[in-house]
Structure 1
Amino acid sequence: MRNSSKAATLESKFPLLAIENDCIISKDADVTICFKVRLPELFTVASAEYEAIHSVWFKVIKTLPDFTIVHKQDWFIKENYNPDLSKDDQSFLSKSFERHFNERPFLNHYCYLFITKTSKERMRMQSNFSSLCKGKLIPKEIKDKEIIGRFLEAVDQLERIMNDSGYIHLERMTEDEIAGTSERSGLLEQYLTLSRETHPSLQDIKLGSEEMRIGNNRISMHTLSDTEDLPGTVSSHSRYEKLSTDRSDCLLSFASPVGLLLSCNHIYNQYLFIDNSDENLRQFEKSARNMHSLARYSRANQINKEWIEKYLNEAHSFGLQSIRAHFNVMSWSDNSAELKQLKNDTGSALALMECRPRHNTTDTATLYWAGIPGNAGDFPSEESFYTFIEPALCFFTEETNYQDSPSPFGIKMADRLTGKPIHLDISDLPMKQGIITNRNKFILGPSGSGKSFFTNHMVRQYYEQGAHVLLVDTGNSYQGLCELIKGKTKGEDGVYFTYTEDNPIAFNPFYTDDGVFDIEKRESIKTLILTLWKRDDEPPTRSEEVALSNAVSGYIERIKTDDQHPSFNGFYEYVKDDYQKVLEQKKVREKDFDIANFLNVLEPYYRGGEYDYLLNSEKQLDLLSKRFIVFEIDAIKDHKILFPIVTIIIMEVFINKMRRLKGVRKLILIEEAWKAIAKEGMAEYIKYLFKTVRKFFGEAIVVTQEVDDIIQSPIVKESIINNSDCKILLDQRKYMNKFDDIQAMLGLTDKEKSQVLSINMNNDPRRLYKEVWIGLGGTHSAVYATEVSTEEYLAYTTEETEKMEVMNLASELDGNVEHAIKRISLSRIKSNRKDN
């Protein structure tokens, strides 16, 4: 049987004439300017911000002249993550991370805005006058150049207002981006093939009353083109129940169900038709009079007359501009079963917006054709409905998926919705942009919230990007990672210190490699001695501080002049002999500085004392060149004397790095050990560290799991929280009843509170991950997923049985932790495949 269907070439029907000065010119003399649109990220916008975004759209629409069409087109395309495994410097764990996410499907979002200047006649054309129905398209001439000039000025103003708002960014599209080049496809080619591949091949487009097909893809079209299909009320945003609690609201735009939440290939078209508002209202007045005169014949006429009068009253009472609008969701699939599912999913998404789902089969072809960028003038007017600008804008989607930071430095996290890896810079870029003034971080997460996994994941990536990392731990959280680094560097790096009586951590506070005692070194020594001397609840007087400062300065001068070996023993003897004589000469009273008491308290650290080994080390901790150091001090965490002193010894190691490693990134992460240095007697030390580290390209990170610690300690608030512009919180549901106190302590906004309380509330059961909230400077915040590969899990795990399994196998493999992790990982992957 012969094929009787009519065929035509795309060239003969194509409605666009040319692209000039980055503007699309149609054959009907319509002029279109195209923009790429960058929207705020999903789950990061609060109620007031949605209102502000809505207000900005309203302002810019008001600036446009009559007979202009605003066409916002959102593409949602299913893509797969392609890892970059070609880098030579990638570590074993980095490669395993990339392999773990290989081919991970996710929904990508691209947003465009097309502003079209057309004519009054074109705005009123119906579907039977579409360019699809014409035999031959004869290009028309643009007659009024002045109107086009005013239109271009209005669009420039629109772009400026949008970009100045700080919420939405518009970028003018170039001719190459619209039409494409030999290296990449353009937007027009992508739309006509429904593909964002580099060079998609053009396929047959079948336009029928029952079915529309592009190549093998069949199109399903749902439209909002009648007021009867619309909800009773609309708003700029709506509550997302899955991530909301009785104490917090997670908000999304009103149209989000047909945006990123609709997980399939689809395009969401949003049209606003700006007619002459006065003429529209005159037509409605005439229509109302007609309905009134015919009301006696039909109750429907009476009802229609009342609705028209309500519309007119709204318009005249509030000075509203009458416009027309249309919205449609176009989804597609090459599988008939999947297409049926897409229809159901799209209908359900519209129902969530309280709209009546209408599957359009009549005008699918003309609606698709009008959706060609630059061809909005071909839109069939009978598919639009009358409304006002503000309610129409509620149907705009206002968020996009998480975006990679445009920075070479950062850490890899995952998108909480789709699981796609995200490159995230929470240190350098925010500093450059003025979002934060320091790189310090405060991490709060109860036991079991995934805190150790996140910190392991973060410090590992910092280390691999050249940072010097020093960790103070009280629970062997970093032993696996440290052993892996040690094996990889053949013992050159990955230093793991554990305090034992046979081999205690010791140092010499008066030793410097270069003999230079700068301000930082002197302050460090004074803080240490003050800690040994005074109790937590016994702050020094002003005269005692001066006396101690003079004693330290005097001993340092003695070292320089006498060329003697510096040590704490030497300092003690100097104070006992020479400095005591100086005080006698100055007639310093005992109540101002009790030197006998001072020497008596410091005697246990002097030669022959109980702790004489702590501060008189003959060998120095030569850790300047070591880039990954872990001090595990769990054995002495409850020792009132050793714990604070050993902690300060460790801090001295970091401060030495801080002073001497110029231009090198430095990171100190302190787990529960911060409690020892956050007491009254040592508060100055931690204040000094947190305020000074930023000047040396460094960052101090404090980790805690006890919420009462941060609520009850004023030192934490003054020293740590106020000097940590980056705050990181994990699952806080255990502290739900105390969260108001945490919110007040950390200075979190209501938006940030809602984000934190949404952590782990709607996790995908097919993926194994924990969520984490990251807030920067009180202005930028989002929730991310910490998802790692099996190899990374084995390196980070704090589960005793799993750590022992790795270490025991490593001992059988000549201490090679990497090979042990590879072998266990392979066995687990095979086991999972069998189970599935």
Structure 2
Amino acid sequence: MRNISKMTTLENKFPLLAVENGCIVSKDADITVAFRVELPELFTVTAGEYETIHSAWNKAVRVLPNFTVVHKQDWFLKENYQSDIQKDELSFLSRSFERHFNERPYLNHECYLFLTKTTRQRMAMQSNFSTLCRGNILPKEIKDKETVLRFLESVSQFERIINDSGFISLVRLSEDEICEKGGLLEQYFSLKGKEHAPLEDISLGAEEVKIGDNILCLHTLSESDDLPAAVSPDSRYEKLSTDRSDCRLSFAAPVGLLLACNHIYNQLLFIEDSDENLRKFEKSARNMHSLGRYSRSNQINEQWIQEYLNIAHSQGLTSIRAHFNVIAWSDNRDELKHIKNDVGSQLALMGCTPRHNTVDTATLYWACMPGNAADFPSEESFYTFIEPALCFFSQETNYKSSTSPFGIKMADRLTGKPLHVDISDLPMKRGIITNRNKFVLGPSGSGKSFFMNHLVRQYYEQGTHVLLVDTGNSYQGLCSLIHQKTKGEDGIYFTYTEENPISFNPFFTDDYVFDVEKKDSIKTLLLTLWKSEEEKISKTESGELGSAVTAYIHKIQSDRSITPNFNTFYEFMRDVYRPELENREIKVEKDDFNIDNFLTTLRQYYSGGRFDFLLNSDKNIDLLNKRFIVFEIDAIKENRELFPVVTIIIMEAFINKMRRLKGVRKQLIVEEAWKAVASANMADYLKYMYKTVRKYFGEAIVVTQEVDDIISSPIVKESIINNSDCKILLDQRKYMNKFDQIQALLGLTEKEKAQILSINQNNAPNRKYKEVWIGLGGTQSAVYATEVSREEYLCYTTEETEKLEVMNKAESLDGDMERAIKLLVNK
């Protein structure tokens, strides 16, 4: 009995035969090679780079033989971020961060490329010859093996051209990735991701196509009348552009990541015999000309054909056919109406006429199956050239997390998905940067201290020794939390008061070993105490003082009864070195080295002087084993004598710590205090410190908000900026009129300038965050969002009322910061 049922099995209609030697073979003997495509990240590509990418695609497509189909397929699937909250090693703040982002929706992007070799006859077939319309598909044998070999050679050339572009990479898909469980074919027939791709019923009706519960909505660009008057590889994204900068996206970006729904964007190029196509058009033009007297439309069509032919011949362009479509879906009919409108409006943003296809949805869905592009109906395509057709390729992907185990958690500025970003180790390993030092610039209120809290907290939790020099109590909350969590073993907060001033002993070492670097740092400190900013230091003065330090060190090493501190050094200079200087055969004139002036100037730091506490500490601060230390010196930031000395000695103490901790990451953060050491006398010290840090697995971070100080200080440029390969900038809109100077000073490219000026231009109103730009070595840069949980916010906040509320609550709970934060979050 004949089966009259309209139902059939997927197996009966399935057009693919096998996957052999990395190629998909169809039952009609078409050969397809499949690739995964890695595209550059969104908002990180300039107009010139889009031109380069477009040119690479153009060169690659031209090496393919006639009767080849290039099918680029971009998948955009709505997913939810899955937090790993159950990890035992997560801290209180890390767990709150993960909880805050758990189930955060975002749009995941995967891109694939299929190169299909077919025949002239297959490429000319229309929709009524689709495999969907044929009763039985009898597998054909591949007869011309030589053609296949030439095709595979051209595919290898194609792959090499794209990979050599430096912006896009192609990775050949394996057999398992294509046809195994959870593979590409299974994903296509379920419209689900890799993790959950069970096959479901497929309903290919004339009016509606359903995959399981999902109803398809298809928009096509298949007629030249629907296209814009002009196309280009890129377009200006107004939402992140200013009158001084351009944010560029690919021409097809509106139907890519900017279309926030589940969808697939198919881009197909049909490479035929160009010469034969042009001959057909010549014949058609003659027919139109002869029929022109009967119809004005024939005259107009003749003009269009002649223009097409003129461009093809004059510019040597290749005639091809092209088709583009957006397949979107939803299991809710009301939502599908919104999706339909969204897709149409995004196509309109490209200057295209949205055409909702309701007739050929099943045929086009079937033809866009990976490996089945040769089954595409020819009437659904339009004639064009390779160059304009490639402008419809989407050329960017969403932000990718770093593969490095070390890094910080930021968020995607478009969707808010958490990202793991390494700005220290991996860039160093790849040669993008040569040091881990960082320079942070952001005006007041830009979220600078907030971002730094977020950064140092994560560095600390990954084993870093952090030493902070602060002038505004920005890290008090975080330090208090660490102090409480470690039961006082860590999170040490030093602050200067009249009753308990900060004191040091720069001459102390526990083993009486003074290397060259230690001697140089002591000499630099003494020169800073002695000379004012305006006075120049002569070679004789530097040399004599270095000799005096060396002689004093020899004395305390040979006589352990002498207590190493500034008092005994001062006495040595007065009672031993000065007489020795006077009795030399070769006299040292006072104009060359005035030791009396030195002793008079430094008398205030000697016993009985007004600052005698500063350099004669009898208890040495344990910087070696404390992993989080904050020096709050806000009380003396206006003191021109104390402030520079305290800052320098803190940094010198950090260098001591740095030398002795082998294989441990160290981090020195200096906030506005850098101005105290940005004098001509300190230039050598700063250069030395920045270069030394790099050698000992350390990094120095300078944070500032005063752009005028940067612009006016050559010391900062020479010592800090030039030795900081990582630059971090926050919202610069306050400095818009001065930004050209900042750009020149920091050596920023036009691409980096455009990214920086786009900060906070289009923030999502339903998320609370501020954006930050991170540039690495002048070659890699992006804008990220600093978004945190409510718990982290209360810990980091620098708003006085909020900070007081947290600290008072903690005080009422015997210093329990964690409990105080929890109570305030839940109130």
TM-score bracket relative to the smaller structure: over 0.9
Quick one: distance in 1 between partners of 2:510 and 2:368? 71
Q: Is residue 83–residue 102 contact of structure 1 (8 Å, CA) maintained in 2?
A: yes
| Partner residue, 1:831 | none
**Equivalent position to 2:542, from 535, 545, 553:** 545
Aligned equivalents of 2:663 and 2:603: distance in 1? 40
Aligned to 2:568: 570
Quote the residue 1:123 is aligned against: 123
| Partner in structure 1 of residue 762 of structure 2 | 762
Distance 2:497 2:825 in 1: 33
Q: CA–CA distance in 1 between the matches of 2:44 and 2:164?
A: 19
Alpha-carbon distance, 1:40 to partner:
0.5
Q: CA deviation at 1:507?
A: 1.2
Q: Which residue does the alignment assign to 1:421?
A: 418
Deviations 1:194-231 (A, max 9, x none): 11152432222111221111111110100000000000
* AA aligned opposite 1:31: I
For the Cα contact (< 8 Å) 1:230–1:356, is it kept in 2?
A: yes
Q: Secondary structure at the match of 1:722?
A: helix
User: Cα deviations across residues 628-663 of structure 1 (Å, max 9, x unaligned)?
Assistant: 000000000000111011111211221111111111
Q: Is the 8 A contact 2:810 2:817 kept in 1?
A: yes
Amino acid at match of 1:121: Q
Q: How big is the shift at 1:24?
A: 0.6
Return the alpha-carbon distance in structure 2 between the equivalents of residues 86 and 123 of structure 1: 54
Q: Counterpart in 1 of 2:235?
A: 238
Partner of 2:61: 61
Contact between 1:506 and 1:649, CA under 8 Å: does it hold in 2?
no
- CA separation in 2, counterparts of 1:200 and 1:388? 37
For residue 167 of structure 2, what is the aligned residue in structure 1? 167
1:735 corresponds in structure 2 to 735
What is the letter of the counterpart of residue 258 of structure 2? L
How does 1:212-291 map onto structure 2 within 5 Å? Answer: 212-291=209-288
Q: How many residues align?
A: 822
- CA distance in 2: counterparts of 1:4 and 1:361, whole angstroms: 26
Q: In structure 2, how many angstroms separate the alpha carbons of the residues matched to 1:36 and 1:674?
A: 48
Query: What letter matches 2:25 in structure 1?
Result: I
Between the aligned partners of 1:552 and 1:153, the Cα distance in structure 2 is: 72
1:334 aligned to 331, 335, 350, which one? 331
Q: 1:715-749 deviations in whole A, cap 9, x for unaligned? A: 11111111111111111111111111111111111
- CA deviations on 1:95-135 (whole Å, 9 max, x unpaired) are 00000001100111000001111111111110000001000
* TM-score, normalisation: structure 1: 0.97
Letter of the 2:164 counterpart: D
8 Å contact from structure 2 (residues 130, 376) kept in 1: yes
Give the superposition deviation at 1:407. Answer: 0.4
Q: Report the equivalent of 1:36.
A: 36
Secondary structure of the residue aligned to 1:200 is coil
TM-score (norm 2): 0.98
State how 1:794-809 maps to structure 2 within 5 Å: 794-809=794-809
Q: CA deviation at 1:683?
A: 2.1
Task: Give the one of 521, 527, 531 matched to 1:530.
Answer: 527
Aligned mates of 1:653, 1:577 — CA distance in 2: 28
Residues 179, 189 of structure 1: 8 Å contact kept = yes
Q: Is the 8 A contact 2:255 2:346 kept in 1?
A: yes
Distance 2:696 2:428 in 1: 14
- The one-letter code matched in structure 2 to 1:514 is D
Which residue type is aligned with residue 49 of structure 1? E
Instruction: Give the alignment partner of residue 352 of structure 1, picking from 349, 365, 374.
Output: 349
Separation in structure 2 between the aligned mates of residue 200 and residue 596 of structure 1, nearest angstrom: 85
Structure 1: gaps of 5 or more residues: 828-836
SS in 1 for 2:775: strand
CA contact (8 A) 1:667 1:698 kept: yes
8 Å Cα contact 1:254/1:394 also seen in 2 = yes
CA offsets 1:266-320 (integer angstroms, 9 cap, x no match): 0000001110111111111111111111111111111111111111111111111
Q: Provide, for residues 231-260 of structure 1, a one-character-per-residue CA deviation record: whole Å limited to 9, x for no partner.
A: 000000000011111111111000000000
Partner of 2:356, secondary structure, is coil
Contact 1:205 1:214 in 2 (8 A): yes
Q: Tell me, in whole angstroms, the C-alpha distance in 1 between the residues paired with 2:92 and 2:446.
A: 26
Provide the rounded CA distance (Å) in 1 between the counterparts of 2:256 and 2:332. Answer: 22
Q: 2:391 aligns with which of 380, 390, 394?
A: 394
1:624 equivalent in alignment to 2:624: yes
AA at the equivalent of 2:665: R
> What is the CA-CA distance between 1:73 and the residue it aligns to?
0.1
- Tell me by how many angstroms 1:504 deviates: 1.2
Q: Specify the SS of the correspondent of 1:442.
A: strand
State the distance in 2 between where 1:667 and 1:155 align. Answer: 49
Q: Please report how far the alpha carbon of residue 83 of structure 1 lies from its aligned counterpart in structure 2 after TM superposition.
A: 0.4
Q: Deviation of residue 567 (structure 1)?
A: 1.3
Q: Which residue of 1 aligns with 2:299?
A: 302
Name the structure 1 match of 2:488: 491
Write the letter of the residue equivalent to 2:577: Y
After the TM superposition, list the runs of 4 or more consecutive aligned residues in structure 1 that deviate by more than 3 angstroms.
Answer: none
Alignment of 1:666-677 (within 5 A): 666-677=666-677
Deviation at 1:578, TM superposition (A): 2.1
2:318 matched to 1:293? no
Contact 1:470 1:628 (8 Å CA) reproduced: yes
Aligned to 2:23: 23
**Secondary structure at the residue paired with 1:767?**
coil
CA distance in 2, matches of 1:204, 1:109: 25
Matched to 2:64, the amino acid is: L
- Structure 1 position 5, deviation (Å): 6.5
**Is the 1:510–1:567 contact (alpha carbons within 8 Å) kept by the matching residues of 2?**
yes
Deviation at 1:143, TM superposition (A): 0.8
Distance (whole Å) between structure 2 residues aligned to residue 191 and residue 657 of structure 1 = 57
How is 1:655-694 mapped onto 2 (pairs within 5 angstroms)?
655-694=655-694
The CA distance in 1 between the partners of 2:164 and 2:459, in whole Å, is: 35
Preserved contact between residue 623 and residue 654 of structure 2 (Cα < 8 Å): no
The AA in structure 2 aligned to 1:206 is: S
| DSSP-derived class of the 2:468 partner | strand
Indicate whether 1:512 and 2:515 are aligned: no
Whether the aligned pair in 2 keeps the contact of 1:223 and 1:360 (CA below 8 Å) is: yes
Q: State the distance in 1 between where 2:5 and 2:359 align.
A: 18
Counterpart AA for 2:167: Y
Q: Is the 8 A contact 1:72 1:111 kept in 2?
A: yes
The SS at the match of 2:366 is helix
State the one-letter code of the partner of 1:430.
P
The structural deviation recorded for 1:159 is 1.2
Deviation at 1:565, TM superposition (A): 2.2
Q: SS state of the match for residue 269, structure 2?
A: strand
Asked if 2 retains the 8 angstrom alpha-carbon contact of 1:77 and 1:265, the reply is yes
Could you report, residue by residue, the CA deviation over 1:777-804 in whole angstroms, capped at 9, with x for unpaired residues? 1111111100000000000011111111
Cα distance in structure 2, aligned partners of 1:390 and 1:659: 58
Question: What is the aligned-residue RMSD (CA, Å)?
Answer: 1.1
2:526 and 2:792 map into 1 onto residues whose CA distance is 42
SS of the residue corresponding to residue 193 of structure 1 reads coil
What one-letter code is carried by the residue in structure 2 that aligns with 1:6?
Answer: K
Contact 2:323 2:382 in 1 (8 A): yes
Counterpart CA distance in 2 for 1:513 and 1:502 is: 28
Contact 2:50 2:250 in 1 (8 A): yes
Is the 2:183–2:194 Cα contact (8 Å) retained in structure 1?
Answer: no
How far has the Cα of 1:4 moved from its partner?
8.8
User: Take 2:186 and 2:455, find their aligned partners in 1: how far apart are those partners?
Assistant: 41
**Match of 2:267, SS?**
strand
SS of the equivalent of 2:193 reads coil
Which residue matches 1:113? 113
Counterpart of 1:394 in structure 2: which amino acid? C
Whole-angstrom distance in 1 between the partners of 2:798 and 2:326: 48
Question: SS in structure 1 opposite 2:111?
Answer: strand
Q: For 1:560-580, what per-residue CA distance to the aligned partner results, in whole angstroms no more than 9, with x for missing partners? A: 122232111121122112222
8 A contact 1:621–1:653 mirrored in 2: no
Q: Which amino acid aligns with 2:508?
A: Y
481, 503, 527: which one aligns with 2:500: 503
Write the distance in 1 (CA, Å) between the matches of 2:452 and 2:805. Answer: 22
**What does residue 580 of structure 1 align with?**
578
The alpha-carbon distance between structure 1 residues 128 and 104, as it changes in their structure 2 partners (threshold 3 A), is same
Name the CA distance, whole Å, in 1 between partners of 2:249 and 2:144: 43
